Structure 1
Amino acid sequence: MTHALPDYLTRNVGFDDCPPGHRFGLYFAGWEADWRKPSNKTPAFKTVASALPQHSRDALAAIRQRQALLATQLGDTVFAHPARLTAPLATGLGNEHPLENGFAFLNPHGLPYLAGSGVKGVLRRAAEELESGEWGDAAGWSQTAIDALFGLETESGDTQATRTRGALLFWDLFFQPPANKVALSVEVMTPHHAGYLQNGGTPHANESPNPIPFLAIPAGCECTLYVQCNPALIPAGAAELRQGWQALVEAAVEHAGEWLGFGAKTAVGYGRLGIDPKAQAERAARREAEAVERRKQDAEAALASMPPDQQLLNRLDARLSSLPTDPRTKTPILQLTSGKDWLPTLELIDAHAGALAELAKPQREALASEIKKRLGAYFKVEGKADKAMKERLAAVRGG
């Protein structure tokens, strides 16, 4: 095989240090001596797949670091999704190339990547599937949200309807191979009926299989999917998306990564993207913390709507319920008032005593009796502690 390059470039210069994109395009060395395409294409693909010199690894790391730094500077306007390929990813197969199956490389770096436009198409499709309801929970997606975030599309040939730009911007996706691994692999598709499918022959089972190699980014490569939002482009009628767009995008990414796939040949399982396990654990912990906080806020709001005596009893019950109980009888274990729980309990009563002024005398008497009953069930109240309790109960009664 030889290069389609002038002799003065190839005589004393090797191209082993070239990035994979340059080996595949600019310095392609797959021609036969008589300039025919090779009959066996696999060696040419393997030459490209094995090309990832150190300077290309450094360039890839610098690009990903630049993206991470920019995302940090932009803050909440960027959604970052650390992920890992769970299946090989093929992209740019339709690009023209002497080996018939092309590939997408970012020039001038010569590094494999998935263009942001491809990411947008998959995520829009994922959002539309979720919105349809056919997958159960729509995860908050609606047609209004799709039009606002991805843009309002029109039917092909429609020149009258208004098109709008979506608020989301999708960054190019770069894939980091594991240490000491190459950035590309050689995959093979094997059609068995080329004569029937391509040459108009009759269908039969006697045709020979025709292995066709092509490049792909191997499973296990890591990447970070970035989606940027310009809140100024969200219409006034969908203002709630300014706060909720990240949750919608996250749901679309997870759906697309598991069920749709990115790039080409997704119908046969290529391009599946799973969240990085460490990031998944962190995200689950964050969701749980947010759910706990929401429940706490809901409980506080419910308490705030109650009468002051009921508020005090509910808060007192919540505090006392955290104290130890006998595992056999489920009854409280009496705590000494010299322990750490007694004074905070009294302070809780002090904090609510002032709000009881609007209550009638009988209500305050009943409340004092309930408090005394609860404290006696959880604490061994005697001596100075008994005196302190009586002072609080007197304040509750209004005496």
Structure 2
Amino acid sequence: MTKAALPNYMDKHLKHQDIPPGHIFGMYFPVWQNDWKKVDQQKTDALKKALSIAPGIQKMQEALVQRQRSAALNHQAIAYFSADSIAPFVTGLGNEHPLENGFAFLNPYGLPYFPGSSVKGVLRMAAEELALGLYGETQSWDMLTVWLLFGFEGSASYLSDKVYHIDILDQEAEKRREAYRQWLEQGDYDQDALKIFIRSVLNEHEQKQYLEDPRQFLKDLPGKDISLQGALSFWDVYPQSKNLAMDILTPHHGEYFQGKHGPHDSEQPNPNVFLTIPPGSRFDFYCTAEAARLPENLQQHWQTLLQQAFHYAFDWLGFGAKTAVGYGQMTERPNAMEDLRGEKAKQEQRQKENAEKLAEQQRLANLPPIEREMAELIQSNNDPQKKDYLVLLDAVKNHADWQSEDKEIVLTRVKVMMQECGDWKETSKKKKPQQDKPHQRTLEVIRLLKDF
């Protein structure tokens, strides 16, 4: 029987507990014998124990997602994209683990996540392929836009003469270098953006030379040791799924690939199990920008450009590991950004209303007591047919505890309010003045005022 690599006294603390899958997969992975040797035959059974997400852990997952959503609603420069996976998703395979196939969990929560740095890597690749026009239209992307948004990397294959000694990689690198040379020769780039880039990566002495001839800077760029942090920041993604899943990769010629002998048909297959997030899971992508660092044109359009890069990534690249064999494929949820804007507008309206309510409460608190009572009486009037001055008039007649001077203040306010709305009538033009309600109320107020 296998167990986790834990002291015996921990067993009683782990029973009947909702344990996150990341903790089971990591700290409490039950694949060890008493002598702490791993039992490879028990890997599948051990992994199955990390697949379920208990209801209490699901609530924690929902709270993380909601906290991120609330942060997004309070951010001014943000882009949001939401997608559903249509294939298993896997990330963090290179992390150390007894299975030799790791997985990315967010500590200390023990919940699966996709690091924002990995999201940025996928989107950068999409943006570069669009900017270089490798597989179709550029959709308004160019290399300057890539550098300003994602940062500059001097080791990129289109700037480097590095030889990989693998035919397909060398061919791809040459294809990118040729596309970059064509873009450079065409000179179809924003001069303002290029000058901003030059000022961002060079000192004042070097700037003077190249600001007079920005094109020469791009020609000299491959040999320069410079770096630039992009304006975009990608947030971690918390996949929303009710459970995890298990997949199996079975190499049939492991010893051949390890160089132990030549290929033959008598090798034993070696099943390797690993964790995945099942299809149908939801992924929310958030990206913020330091818009002040960008040229005016990019400040206005960076979200649209990023949307095109996401579309490209959804259609052609995929997210996470093993995308070359179909993992990490997703389909975008429509109108995600519009929904976020609508939710943000509602929140701003609620915040405005709360601020107005607080200001009104503060105003009332600073009023004299009788003025505050009048304001509160008017606010409590829920009858749209009953005019506010009638509320105050009824209060004068019903408030036996009011002092004479308070009643006089209220009646004076009633008179002013009646005059403002045209209901103050000391004389009536009707044949039966007793049926003229505004006139009768006016007389009543006059009579009450005479008592003080």
TM range (shorter): 0.5 to 0.7
Matched, 1:63 2:123: no
Shift of 1:213: 0.5
Shift of 1:56: 1.4
- Secondary structure of the equivalent of 2:247? strand
What is the CA–CA distance in structure 1 between the aligned matches of 2:17 and 2:108, rounded to whole Å?
17
1:171 to 207, 228, 235: 235
CA offset digits 1:17-44 (Å, max 9, x no partner):
2100110112222213332212221111
Paired position in structure 2 for 1:275: 332
- Secondary structure of the equivalent of 1:226? strand
Paired position in structure 2 for 1:88: 88
What is the CA–CA distance in structure 1 between the aligned matches of 2:16 and 2:339, rounded to whole Å?
44
Paired position in structure 2 for 1:148: 148
Shift of 1:200: 2.7
Shift of 1:160: 5.6
Paired position in structure 2 for 1:53: 54
- Secondary structure of the equivalent of 1:214? strand
Contact 1:168–1:229 (8 Å) recurs in 2: yes
- Secondary structure of the equivalent of 1:245? helix
Matched, 1:30 2:60: no
| Matched residue type, 2:311 | E
Paired position in structure 2 for 1:111: 111
Contact 1:37–1:99 (8 Å) recurs in 2: no
What is the CA–CA distance in structure 2 between the aligned matches of 1:87 and 1:281, rounded to whole Å?
26
What is the CA–CA distance in structure 1 between the aligned matches of 2:66 and 2:236, rounded to whole Å?
13
Shift of 1:281: 10
Paired position in structure 1 for 2:248: 188
Pairwise CA RMSD: 2.3
Shift of 1:205: 2.9
Contact 2:20–2:110 (8 Å) recurs in 1: yes
Counting matched residue pairs gives 274
Gaps of 5+ in 2: 161-221, 341-452
1:244 to 279, 301, 312: 301
Cα pair distance change 1:276/1:34, threshold 3 Å:
same
What is the CA–CA distance in structure 1 between the aligned matches of 2:338 and 2:296, rounded to whole Å?
31
Paired position in structure 1 for 2:179: none
Paired position in structure 1 for 2:354: none
User: TM-score under structure 2 normalisation?
Assistant: 0.57
| Matched residue type, 2:115 | A
Shift of 1:79: 0.4
Cα pair distance change 1:239/1:84, threshold 3 Å:
same
What is the CA–CA distance in structure 1 between the aligned matches of 2:44 and 2:286, rounded to whole Å?
34
Shift of 1:85: 0.8
| Matched residue type, 2:305 | L
Contact 1:185–1:216 (8 Å) recurs in 2: yes
What is the CA–CA distance in structure 1 between the aligned matches of 2:20 and 2:149, rounded to whole Å?
36
- Secondary structure of the equivalent of 2:270? coil
Question: Which structure has the larger Rg?
Answer: 2
Shift of 1:279: 4.3
Cα pair distance change 1:280/1:107, threshold 3 Å:
closer
Contact 1:83–1:223 (8 Å) recurs in 2: yes
Matched, 1:2 2:9: no
Cα pair distance change 1:195/1:57, threshold 3 Å:
same
Contact 1:131–1:143 (8 Å) recurs in 2: yes
What is the CA–CA distance in structure 2 between the aligned matches of 1:155 and 1:139, rounded to whole Å?
25
User: TM-score under structure 1 normalisation?
Assistant: 0.65
Shift of 1:215: 0.5
Paired position in structure 2 for 1:162: 226
What is the CA–CA distance in structure 2 between the aligned matches of 1:39 and 1:163, rounded to whole Å?
46
What is the CA–CA distance in structure 1 between the aligned matches of 2:339 and 2:74, rounded to whole Å?
21
What is the CA–CA distance in structure 1 between the aligned matches of 2:228 and 2:338, rounded to whole Å?
37
- Secondary structure of the equivalent of 2:99? coil
Cα pair distance change 1:152/1:46, threshold 3 Å:
same
Paired-residue identity, %: 45
Gaps of 5+ in 1: 284-399
CA offset digits 1:157-189 (Å, max 9, x no partner):
999612011000000011111xxx31x110111
- Secondary structure of the equivalent of 1:120? helix
Paired position in structure 2 for 1:256: 313
Shift of 1:208: 2.6
What is the CA–CA distance in structure 1 between the aligned matches of 2:292 and 2:308, rounded to whole Å?
22
Contact 1:257–1:274 (8 Å) recurs in 2: yes
- Secondary structure of the equivalent of 1:9? helix
CA offset digits 1:66-103 (Å, max 9, x no partner):
1111111113x110001111111111111011121111
Shift of 1:134: 2.4
Shift of 1:47: 0.9
What is the CA–CA distance in structure 2 between the aligned matches of 1:16 and 1:214, rounded to whole Å?
24
Cα pair distance change 1:142/1:278, threshold 3 Å:
closer
Shift of 1:135: 2.2
2:292 to 219, 232, 237: 232
